[in-house]
Amino acid sequence: MVSRAVTRGSLVDLLFHMLIPLMLLLVAGVDRRKALMLAPVAIIPDLDVLFVAHRVYLHTIFIPTAAVIICLFLYELKRRGPLNFSPPTQEMFLATTYYCSHLLLDLFAGLIAIFWPITNLGYGLNAGIIVNQQSIVPTIQPYLAVRVKQIPVPNPVTNVAAATPQSIITAILFLVIMLMTWYKGRHKKQGGL
């Protein structure tokens, strides 16, 4: 008998953490190779499970903030001329985008200690829209609530879903679309289609 993985209230699995920002970056026109190469950065925050502190140590806003500061510093050094090499600032910004997307997705899926090491209070956003169809005219009720709760450390997590059926189907559809656009682009260059 196969048991379903428990994600402790999270609806975002590892595959979704990579797919969602990857699709958004590709739609935004980012180079396909760079976007695919950096997609695994999106799952780095979940490595804090190795330290028995899921959504604490690596789910802090200070890591991507430090990366942006380093990017800006390297960019400014290169602009002024003292650097003899070209720093990978575009790749660092893309990696930071993947990292921040993970934090944002988890913020809506549960609690994260976004201000660790200052505090291990977990913050989360509960948002959605309720449609009530019990009357002739349906009513729409949007809601937004901020949740705050202490995240205990250690907080062992077991049976975390690496991929759910929804993310697998999304990945398959994404791959089909990628293959179709690649095929169409290749044939357009050859004078076909």
Residue partners of 24: CB distance under 8 A and separation at least 6:
101
Backbone phi, psi, residue 52, to 5°: 55, 45
Establish if 179 belongs to a structural domain: no
Is 138 a residue whose pLDDT tops 60? yes
- Examine residue 56 and state whether it is found in any structural domain, yes or no: yes
pLDDT, tens digit (0-9, with 9 covering 90-100), for 22-80: 999 999 999 999 999 999 999 999 999 888 888 999 999 999 999 999 888 888 888 88
Q: How is residue 55 annotated by DSSP? A: T
Domain-embedded: residue 191: no
Residue at 180 is within a domain: no
- On whether residue 183 sits in a domain, the answer given is no
Domain containing 39: what range? 14-162
| Percent above pLDDT 90 for the chain | 47
Percentage, residues of the chain above pLDDT 70: 92
Phi-psi region for residue 81, left (φ > 0), alpha (ψ -120 to 50) or beta? left
132 in a domain, yes or no?
Answer: yes
Average pLDDT, the chain: 85
Task: Give 94-110 as a DSSP string.
Answer: HHHHHHHHHHHHHHHHS
Question: How many CA within 13 A on the CB side of residue 80?
Answer: 7
Strand partners, 129: 142
- Look at residue 95 and tell me if it is in a domain: yes
Has residue 60 been placed in a domain? yes
pLDDT tens per residue, range 111-121: 999 999 999 89
User: Domain total for the chain?
Assistant: 1
Token duo for residue 65? 């903030």
Assessment of whether the complete model's pTM goes beyond 0.85: no
Residue 186: CB atoms within 10 A of its CB come to: 11
Query: Which amino acid appears at position 43 of this protein?
Result: I
Mean per-residue pLDDT, 77-106 = 87
- The pLDDT tens digits for 155-179 are 887 777 778 888 899 899 988 988 8
